[in-house]
Amino acid sequence: MTNDGILLVYKEKGLTSFDLVNRIKRGLKLDKIGHTGTLDPNAEGLMLVLFNQTTKANQFLVHDTKEYIASLRLGLKTDTKDIWGEILEEADYTMPNQKEIKAVFEKFLGLQAQEVPMVSAVRVNGKRLHEYHREGIEVTQPIREIEILELELLKVDKDIKFRVVCGSGTYIRTLCEDIAAEFNTIGVMSDLVRTKVGSFSIKDAVKLDQVIAGNYKLLELKDVLPYKKVQATSVIDIKNGKILALEYDSPFITVMDQDEVLAVYGWNEKKDAYTSVRGLW
């Protein structure tokens, strides 16, 4: 079995993303391993794990939209914006009805600014926010532009359960807190499952024990990269980073040698041609 490719893995609750990929690396005796996006220990769902040579393509696989099934619990505020954090405040509230919830959801569709939570891995002055949080140091949290593409109410009982499709970089725990504010109360994320990354679905993912047992199938890089494929006329030229004087078709292209991926090239306006972004051989 070849060990170059992309694996769809179902990360279970209680396992960090770091532990997951390292257990796979040790269990399968891989030289290199990577992934395209972390999930918190208390979250579960789909992760794209990259084996060996495929790790070189990481930067081209992290900008997809993502789908989550999440739950919001009103009347609670914690230091991590989820139910697993330290409780900072509790408040009485009236559970909104479905019509009210759907009306608020409409307000969150589209582009908007979102504050990065303190428990994130985003760096400020060279240090990750979660490190500041752990040390109790206050720091200004960055504001990012995010996009919510779909927001669907699924169920209302003790919590508000919903499905969200969003752009990369969206923090669902912050979204939950912001939605709660629209109901004039406080709130936290109480559950999170990542169900899709781009066109890849959790239904095709395998769990850790299946991976270690060898019950998995890798996706080939050529089938995962989202760019138009162009056949190389000279493999040596591509490996030497030769500029490709092709007519502009898209910001990036995948340069192939038959069925093998050689590199990703990007459009360079100054040179009016495609130049090498990353060799992937």
Whether 150 and 182 map to the same domain: the answer is yes
Measured CA to CA in angstroms, residue 14 lies from 45, 83, 139, 188 at distances of: 12, 14, 28, 19
Whether 58 and 79 map to the same domain: the answer is no
Whether 157 and 85 map to the same domain: the answer is yes
At 55-77, the pLDDT tens digits run: 999 999 876 799 999 999 999 99
List CB contacts of 52: < 8 A, sequence separation 6 or more: 3, 4, 30, 31, 32, 33
pTM given for the model: 0.88
Whether 38 and 157 map to the same domain: the answer is no
| C-alpha–C-alpha distance, residues 60 and 76, integer Å | 38
Annotated catalytic residue within 4, 19, 31, 40: 40
Number of domains in the chain: 3
Whether 58 and 81 map to the same domain: the answer is no
| C-alpha–C-alpha distance, residues 157 and 127, integer Å | 40
Whether 70 and 193 map to the same domain: the answer is yes
At 217-270, the pLDDT tens digits run: 999 999 999 899 999 999 999 999 999 999 998 999 999 999 999 999 999 999
40 is catalytic: yes
Model pLDDT, residue 132: 74
Whether 88 and 163 map to the same domain: the answer is yes
Whether 154 and 46 map to the same domain: the answer is no
| C-alpha–C-alpha distance, residues 33 and 56, integer Å | 10
At 155-210, the pLDDT tens digits run: 999 999 999 999 988 999 999 999 999 999 999 999 999 999 988 999 999 999 99
Whether 106 and 142 map to the same domain: the answer is yes
| C-alpha–C-alpha distance, residues 32 and 78, integer Å | 37
pLDDT at 1 over 60: no
Range of the domain at 243: 227-279
2 pLDDT band, cuts 50/70/90, is low
At 77-129, the pLDDT tens digits run: 999 999 999 999 999 999 999 999 999 999 999 999 987 777 777 787 777 77
> Any idea what the CATH number is for the domain that residue 208 is in?
3.30.2350.10
Whether 244 and 122 map to the same domain: the answer is no
133 pLDDT band, cuts 50/70/90, is confident
- Across the range 274-279, mean pLDDT stands at 97
Residue by residue, what is the 3-state secondary structure of 173-224? HHHHHHHHHHCCCCEEEEEEEEEEECCEEHHHCEEHHHHHCCCCCCECHHHH
Whether 81 and 186 map to the same domain: the answer is yes
| C-alpha–C-alpha distance, residues 206 and 215, integer Å | 8
11 pLDDT band, cuts 50/70/90, is very high
Whether 78 and 138 map to the same domain: the answer is yes
